Structure 1
Amino acid sequence: MKIVLTGYMGSGKSVVGKALAARLGLPFLDLDDQIEKELGMDIPEIFKEKGEIFFRKKEHEFLREILRSKEAFVLSTGGGTPCYSGNMDLLLATTAQIFYLQLSVFSLTNRLLAEKHHRPLISHLQHADLQEFIGKHLFERRPFYSRAHHTIHCDGRSVDEVVLEITKKLI
């Protein structure tokens, strides 16, 4: 079984993915971590030195490679992964279960304010601008995220509650 978690940055894909993988006894993979490991640079460095187009190309290559595996896993994608290079079509063609972890603009803004210096797309934004940026991005990305097999509403829910809902949908 290949389980893929999608959603906007800060939606909890990595935290939920690790907990879900542990509960199911499956390996956990984080696409951004794989990219960083293979390229020997962190994501902000890649964006700064190579640019977003280079990053998106590598993201697609690594996603394709991971999905070729015959092994079962839980995969956390980057927030933009489903929206570029035909990645959502690739995921739908090769993955048993795709989950969109959905949060409101308000919740995402609050989560991302504390960690924005680690996020190249938002590191320069102040609170009001960040909220507007997230709202615009969610509007643009919704057609991609909504193609997931399942949407999990995560506002006000703990990691354990989200993991429990996902596991119930796998049965």
Structure 2
Amino acid sequence: MATSIDETILLTGFMGSGKTMIGEALAKKLNKPFADIDKIIEEKEGMPIKDIFKKEGEAAFRAKEKAEITNYLTEASAGNAVVSVGGGSFLQKEIRNICMKNATVVFLHISWSAWLERLDMLVETRPVLHGRTISEIRTLYDDRQAIYDQHHYRVTVDGLDPEEASDKIISAFQDKSI
């Protein structure tokens, strides 16, 4: 599917919704650079996100996340890229506002039941899941849905592979229907 979308597209959504994989597929289809803010932070810090959480705490990570998103979207002139941000980044209102102003935000919605199918592969790499019960994780999921309400497009990704999800995003831009 060849198309031209001349704006920065920012993908947000709950952890494990596929932001990185879908972002990579979308960037390839649109011939745009792809930036994963979590990976940028890991490269700069020389350690995985889970280790940053362990060594420095969530507040320190969130500060790094805010700085990188702000830099990428405003100072680095992302201009015409596909960007994915961590599932918790939108907890900060200032980040949501920066993203909404400097990019077209696409919320990748995944239902609770579809997300649960991915839980086993997510727990190890997602520090906010460590030590939580299913009930606590469900509360986290439900609470975070409200923070994703600020977006330009909402795309449900249940049952879609990254190629199908990226096609759905492109279609949304072409017909402005989502």
**Normalization by structure 2: what TM-score?**
0.88
- Provide, for residues 42-68 of structure 1, a one-character-per-residue CA deviation record: whole Å limited to 9, x for no partner: 101100000000000110001000002
1:78 counterpart residue number: 86
Which residue among 5, 8, 15 is the counterpart of 2:14?
Answer: 8
1:163 counterpart residue number: 166
Give unmatched runs, 5+ long, in structure 2: 1-6
Q: Which letter does structure 1 place at the counterpart of 2:80?
A: A
1:108 partnered with 2:111: no
| In structure 2, distance between residues paired with 1:57 and 1:162 | 30
1:39 counterpart residue number: 45
Asked if the contact 1:57/1:85 (under 8 Å) is kept, the reply is: no
- How much has 1:141 moved relative to structure 2? 1.6
| In structure 2, distance between residues paired with 1:115 and 1:152 | 21
Asked if the contact 1:36/1:43 (under 8 Å) is kept, the reply is: yes
Give unmatched runs, 5+ long, in structure 1: none
Q: How many residues align?
A: 166
Q: Which letter does structure 2 place at the counterpart of 1:53?
A: A
> Percent identical across equivalent pairs?
31
- How much has 1:157 moved relative to structure 2? 1.9
| In structure 2, distance between residues paired with 1:154 and 1:133 | 23
More moved, 152-161 vs 18-27: 152-161
Alignment of 1:86-105 (within 5 A): 86-95=94-103, 97-105=104-112
| In structure 1, distance between residues paired with 2:26 and 2:137 | 26
Q: CA RMSD in A?
A: 1.3
| In structure 2, distance between residues paired with 1:155 and 1:67 | 28
Q: Which letter does structure 1 place at the counterpart of 2:86?
A: G
| In structure 1, distance between residues paired with 2:33 and 2:137 | 31
Q: Which letter does structure 2 place at the counterpart of 1:17?
A: G
- How much has 1:85 moved relative to structure 2? 5.2
Which residue among 55, 58, 75 is the counterpart of 1:52?
Answer: 58
- How much has 1:30 moved relative to structure 2? 0.3
2:72 counterpart residue number: 66
Aligned to 1:99, what secondary structure does the other structure show?
A: strand
Asked if the contact 2:109/2:156 (under 8 Å) is kept, the reply is: yes
2:30 counterpart residue number: 24
Q: Which letter does structure 2 place at the counterpart of 1:119?
A: R
- How much has 1:123 moved relative to structure 2? 3.0
